[in-house]
Amino acid sequence: MKNLLLYSSLSIVLQRIQDFVNLGYTRYVCGSTSVDKIEQVIALFEMNYQASISRYQRTKRTHMGLGNVHLVLRLKGEQVYWWLLATPPEVGRHPIHETDTLKNALIVGERIEIDGFELVRLPKKGTDHTKLTWRMTTSTFDGFSQSVVEAVRSRSYQRMQYVLYRLWSNPGFNGIRSQIGKLVVKYRAEVKRASIKDAPKPPEKLYYLNRRPHDGITVKQLRAQLKSQV
């Protein structure tokens, strides 16, 4: 349990999950619990799935032909959201394969979705390969598209500025950046169609999301925070 961190940043959670899926932890189950129960939940995961063993212990299990599990935790308000990511059965046996109905993160219809984003494999530009990345779900993208249209047609500088701010506030994963580029094209077309000369301009660059450090809190620190609030 001492090795586990709870992350408040959505970007860090998305990066960690993408990392593990890239490493072959393609099966998953997820859920949530209240902050006051997370210690019991983690203890259960440790007892049943060895969810927080060391890198050395995981390597040892792999050499023995056994599967492994990683646990990602997100602290959001009074809830803790969790994802148990497991290697597939063909890599090696693991108790989670017997006790849980796991989804396959690489299959359409079973992809990992978090806050309107989904983990997908998209073609890698200039190659025949694919790359794992996050993008907006269809409903999220359509919602932004509608917001762009409504903001421009309102002719309100503040509404147009706000919709651009919302777009640039999204995590800069490759798939998301590509979608934002399409929405910016739509925004400019709508502004031109409405003949709005003083409309706010989108920022010149949409930066990639840099590698985020493991900025989180331990269960011990969370426990101390909860006690201080009593």
Q: Which whole number is the average pLDDT over 134-159?
A: 98
- Residue 30 CA to residue 27 CA, distance in Å, equals 10
Q: Which residues of 92-119 are buried (b: 16+ CB within 10 A; e: fewer)?
A: bebebbeeeebbebbeeeebbebeebbb
In this predicted structure, what is the pLDDT of residue 213? 74
DSSP label at residue 201 = P
In this predicted structure, what is the pLDDT of residue 212? 72
The encoded tokens of residue 21 equal: 């899926």
Tens digits of per-residue pLDDT, 78-90?
999 999 999 999 9
DSSP label at residue 121 = E
Amino acid at 136: M
Tens digits of per-residue pLDDT, 152-180?
999 999 999 999 999 999 999 999 999 99
- Residue 94 CA to residue 92 CA, distance in Å, equals 7
Amino acid at 220: K
- Residue 182 CA to residue 107 CA, distance in Å, equals 25
Tens digits of per-residue pLDDT, 97-110?
999 999 999 999 99
Residues 6+ apart with CB under 8 A from 199: 152, 157, 160, 191
In this predicted structure, what is the pLDDT of residue 134? 98
In this predicted structure, what is the pLDDT of residue 226? 77
In this predicted structure, what is the pLDDT of residue 208? 83
- Residue 60 CA to residue 202 CA, distance in Å, equals 51
Tokens 């997908």, residue located? 120
Residue 59 has pLDDT above 70, yes or no: yes
Asked if 84 and 45 count as a contact pair (C-beta separation under 8 A), the reply is yes
Give the residue ranges of DSSP H helices in 50-203.
55-63, 95-99, 138-154, 157-168, 174-193
The H or E element spanning position 45 is helix 38-49
Q: Which whole number is the average pLDDT over 15-41?
A: 96
Tens digits of per-residue pLDDT, 107-131?
999 999 999 999 999 988 778 788 9
Percent of the chain with pLDDT strictly greater than 90: 82
Q: Which whole number is the average pLDDT over 17-27?
A: 97
Percent of the chain with pLDDT strictly greater than 70: 98
Asked if 51 and 99 count as a contact pair (C-beta separation under 8 A), the reply is no
**Please, which pLDDT band fits residue 204 given cuts at 50, 70 and 90?**
confident
Residues 6+ apart with CB under 8 A from 6: 38, 73, 74, 75, 80, 216, 217, 218, 219, 222
In this predicted structure, what is the pLDDT of residue 1? 55
Tens digits of per-residue pLDDT, 184-199?
999 999 999 999 999 9
Orientation angle between helical segments 138-154 and 174-193, nearest 10 degrees: 30
Asked if 29 and 11 count as a contact pair (C-beta separation under 8 A), the reply is no
Q: Which of 1-5, 55-59, 143-147 has the lowest mean pLDDT?
A: 1-5
Q: Identify the sign of the CA torsion 107, 183, 20, 101.
A: negative
